[in-house]
Structure 1
Amino acid sequence: MKIAMLAPIAWRTPPRHYGPWELVTSLLTEALVARGVDVTLFATLDSITSAKLDGVVPAPYSEDPTIDAKVWEYRHLSHLFAQADRFDLIHNQADFPAHAFAPLVHTPMVTTIHGFSSERILPMYQPFQDRIHYVAISEADRHPSLRYAATIHHGIALDEFPFERDGGDGLLFFGRIHPDKGAKEAIAAARSSGHHLDIYGIVQDQAYFDATVAPELDDQIRYHGPVGGADRAQALGKARTLLHLINFDEPFGLSVVEAMACGTPVIATRRGSMSELIEHDRTGFLVDDAEGAVRAIARIGELDRATVRQRAVERFSVDRMADEYIALYRSVLQRTQVSNG
């Protein structure tokens, strides 16, 4: 089986600090190669992989201002699709622009939809659903107007998130600094509960950060910026709980399962995929408002961190994710062979 894995080009694959789509693409690629699958990763040329690396984009456009996102994205896509007949299957991790090329080649294609952002993108999905096999990353993120080949939850490299039996006393916010992700709500919950809050993540909305986060920073509320590697795992594992008080219907939430892999329970707003990821009263608490979040913080000691870790191991391993994608690839290829006679 020869797979062309199409990565986004916003960040390196894998990302240095932030880049959830690129991270999942890397994790899946490495797991497939470990299983003997012949994978060519189409990504920025500074990417790191055990697969064959192919590409034309010198660097990620979010890191190099000389890279025009639109220009290089279409150069990136053209480079892959010009050689589509070399592969048994194309796995698109780079959103809907690739769909424009799908009718021009015979190679079957899978698209992982990393969050259905808006009704406005439907015209680049609906007309292609007889040609492309769509994967949802949660049941909550399925759009009623589309047909899906599967729902496959993301998996993580569990050995990169060691179990922390004792955790710590502080609360944690881990994610983009943007109104959607609930930094303001996490700060309010920390103030009400009297606990310290450590905030990690890129500033995606500078005005929001300046108005909502920066004025609150003191000895109790601390902002550390983005973090990766071992420092990321330490931040997630040394927390009492992760506060994920989102203001949108989040399609997944890598930091949620990464925290749980460290044994850290999660308190999250009951929106989007959170009820799929978090087992209420077992691996965390699902809440509906600010008061519920404060009550949950007071109860977090009731949860067993070893159980939180074990459930993450059972449900969110990269091995499980890879096995489910391989099963999907085989199903797609079998159906393609049947339809081609």
Structure 2
Amino acid sequence: MIIRRQTRKIDVGGVAIGGDSPISVQSMTNTDTRDTESTIDQILRLEKAGCEIVRSAVLDMEAAAAIRTIRDGITIPIIADIHFDYRLALAAMENGAQGIRINPGNLGGEAKLAKVIDAAKLHKVPVRVGVNSGSIEKDLLKTYGYPTAENPKALIESALRNVRLVESHGYHEMKISIKSSDVMTTVSGYQQLSKLTDYPLHLGVTEAGGLIAGTVKSSVALGILLSQGIGDTFRISLTRDPVEEIRVGFELLRSLKIRERGPELISCPTCGRTQINLFKLAEEVERYVQTMVTPIKVAVMGCIVNGPGEAKEADLGVTGGNGVGIIFKKGVIYKKVAEEDLLETFMAELKKAEEEGQNS
């Protein structure tokens, strides 16, 4: 049983983070924020996949102003990602940003930070203090050295220094992130930080890589931390369509039995017995179940051997071969169809299961 670390609770646009609130799954848009139509379209796809908070880069005043239009077109909270220019943080909050991600130490000094915090108080906007291995202050690197798994002190002290800067202006609506591209540095850093503060923690491995490398690195690091009760919200960072980040995020939570959203999909790895186009079938089913919210178990199997028998716990499954498609429920054959009609028929069964789940 996982025992959650006790943290203070903050509110990001109606989504609670920390305390006893569910661990939330985030992503970040990769569109040009100034292109509001494309950005809204991407966020709506993220919402459909289950994304609960979204972050967008604010590179200039036009992007800051675009936050208003984007917020009006979506339903989940939007966080403005700010670097260096404090005026962008002010403009983003004026235009409806429901959170800001900043590194307080790189905004240009105490006076500029004070203006940002005053605006955060005014607009009731929480602050994410975000520090990466590549953005640590030079004096801390000189004192502690570059952060490693054995010695992440520079990363931790940089975060706490910036937290103290915000606190010095009388503001405590914060969450903290300390990210590294190295898995074990990330794990060690968060483990040690969690003992030094009760602010909610945003987890992530920065610059994790593409679909395979990024999924593995993020799942290892975040899986270790979440299993230890560390972490209140997170992003799986992938060089990929951000919708994939949400899919990986919820599968991670499901595997740890922390949260469950939508169907659990199981499929066999294929072998010489496979006589249907299992890759295409599994891909199409996987794409569809990501739009579902009913927590059923769905199986896509390659042959009769691995079909109803090995997947008998599945609520709904599909297999086939030699021109025949089979749909089964709880290990019992439910329907036989021609192989060319299998995908369409199975999709109809999935839709029916989703409707029944929502009406139950």
Whether TM exceeds 0.5 here: the answer is no
> TM-score normalized by structure 2?
0.32
> TM-score normalized by structure 1?
0.33
Higher relative contact order (CA 8 A, sep 6+): 1
The structure number with the bigger radius of gyration is 2
